[in-house]
Amino acid sequence: MGIINKGILGGFSGAVGPVVGSSWKGINYMKTLPSKKSKTSSVAQIEQQLKFTLIIHFLQTFTALLEITFKNYANEMTAFNSAFSYNIKNAVTGPTPDFVVDYPNALVSRGNLPNVAGPTAIAAAGGTIVFAWSDNSGTGNALPTDKVILAIYCESMDTSIYTTGNTTRNALTETLDVSAFSGKVVQTWIAIVSENENDASNSYYTGQLTVS
């Protein structure tokens, strides 16, 4: 209950209806009470929160890479937010509340540059993954000097390993040391960026592997 001092035009303390009166250094002031928020979230809100957390965990391991591979879609937003926007719409599957990342439909790179042709990824000895592909230089704006991006994600460790162009489209193969994931299941992708990194391809999912 509020107490009004010196009549209706005077200062008051406490709550009167939706208004709180108080005093600070001899100055009387009033403020409205904050509106009460619902203590329970709707099913749709809970689902969105679960999807949000899932995709954030996945993409945070690729933050630096996304600055290169999603920058052409960072219109009035960061490259990370662009990647988040795409993947939360297209790369979440499963029933509530057991949502999972739909890795074959997830993108770690997005763009119009042609990717390599016929890419494959194979788990090899010594904790390595061997990627191979065909050189399709001359297809569209594909050049032999375009740089190859390899991306590996280990869900159980919530960690990724990726390259940012150690080799080129015409190299046809690259071996990546992923011994840090020995014995673990990983997801793999390959993508392409132009030599100046101004253009990128959509990433291609090269499958789930178990690292030796």
pLDDT in tens, 44-68: 899 999 999 999 999 999 999 999 9
**Edge-to-edge order in the sheet of strand 159-162:** 159-162, 147-154, 185-193, 204-210
Among residues 189, 188, 191, 181, the alpha carbon closest in space to that of 208 is found at 188
Domains and CATH numbers, the chain: 3-32 (no CATH), 43-210 (2.60.40.10)
* Cβ atoms of residues 47 and 55 within 8 Å: no
- Cα dihedral 182, 133, 175, 114 sign: negative
Q: pLDDT tens digit string along 19-32?
A: 666 665 555 555 66
Q: What is the pLDDT of residues 163-204, one digit of tens each?
A: 998 999 999 999 999 999 999 999 999 999 999 999 999 999
Does this model's pTM top 0.85? My answer is: no
